Amino acid sequence: MLYIARADYSEVRSAIEAGLESCGFDPGSKRILIKPNIVNAHAPEVGATTHPALIEALIDHFGGDRCIIAESCVVGVDTDETFRKSGLLELASKHGAELLNLQKVSRAPVNWAFGEIQLPTMLRDCAYINLAKMKTHILTGATLCLKNQKGMLINSDKMRFHRLGLDKAIPALYDVLKPDLAIIDAIWALEGEGPGKFGERKDLGLLLFGNDALELDNLAIQIMGLETDEVRHVLPVPLSEIHGVPLEDVRTEFKRSKGYYKKVNMFYFPCGACSGCSNAISETVKGLLKEPWRHPLKVAKFILNGIIGKRIFLAGIEAAYPHVKGRTICIGDCSKRFADREKLPHVKGCPPKARDILRNL
């Protein structure tokens, strides 16, 4: 069952209740495990994270003491600090809900296509709601429900997914981990260079509901105007009957990711890398500009190169020369083979440390 609702964040309770009823979601006496998409401490207005109004509406519906909000942020980001900065800690405390950092929960091995993977044991006893976000993604074309499940993993498995290839690993995870209900927050979506702050907010005013997360992702891809081969980790499946707003009334066209991030004349090409490398680069630049008196000559050279030159950062196991030419630095252990072959500067680490990147600036 699929359901499309029009909604805005000022009044989402009625849309949530209509979607739950349409999908016939019945958790019985189980606790409710809500897995949002909180990649970083972005303000809700950015459009990169599940809006807290939706989490609060679900808590209001089921009762705070029955609900668990569970998440782990991208590699390189402190999840507990993000809970505080994003307001999730305050929200959970207000309603008596449990807030869990998924890097710290009990786990058990589960057999999957690539051997064993560690999944939270609480999944055995909870009704699991995947509360995803509609966004484009620099590596996977789009990030929806199936991609949101990567937040269930320990960091070492998140990094392993990138070495295996996201287009293979994400559907393999879905084979052994299926939500009881999937919801996509598309009231404020994100297009362009998602999944974070480099993307552009796109206001759609929609909530999507489905009993099958794979089917719901296929619906979202159609709404976004993407082709199935642009989001290869979501295998095409036929759509069941759609209730609520007709699909033809909500189809749109999302800006695609160009596959790299750009700030002035600095370019970052992830080439399949996990977020650890991009966060390391970001922290390096922020630290350099936040306290310029610590490295005055580096800051001056950095700014000058950003104006008149080009600085190219490459990361990931698929590292290769991009179409942009400039001084190229390879970041992280995954890019070492390419750096050695091409005799390029290389910063080791998984993820690399900001101070080591700074030496190469």
Main-chain dihedrals φ then ψ at residue 91, nearest 5 degrees: -65, -45
pLDDT score of 115 = 98
Q: Using CA atoms, how far apart are residues 313 and 330, in angstroms rounded to an integer?
A: 6
pLDDT score of 73 = 95
pLDDT tens digits in sequence order for the chain, 361 residues long: 999 999 999 999 999 999 999 999 999 999 999 999 998 999 999 999 999 999 999 999 999 999 999 999 999 899 999 999 999 999 999 999 999 999 999 999 999 999 999 999 999 999 999 999 999 999 999 999 999 999 999 999 999 999 999 999 999 999 999 999 999 999 999 999 999 989 999 999 999 999 999 999 999 999 999 999 999 999 999 999 999 999 999 999 999 999 999 877 889 999 999 989 988 888 887 777 777 777 777 777 766 766 667 889 999 999 999 998 888 999 999 999 999 999 999 999 998 998 888 887 7
Contact (Cβ atoms closer than 8 angstroms) between residue 119 and residue 173: no
Contact (Cβ atoms closer than 8 angstroms) between residue 251 and residue 222: yes
Neighbour tally for 9: CB within 10 Å: 16
The encoded tokens of residue 104 equal 């710290």
pLDDT score of 306 = 63
pLDDT score of 59 = 98
pLDDT score of 260 = 93
Q: Delineate the domains of the chain, giving CATH numbers in brackets.
A: 2-249 (3.40.50.11440), 261-359 (no CATH)
What global pTM score does this model have?
0.94
Q: Using CA atoms, how far apart are residues 240 and 243, in angstroms rounded to an integer?
A: 10
End-to-end CA distance of the chain: 53
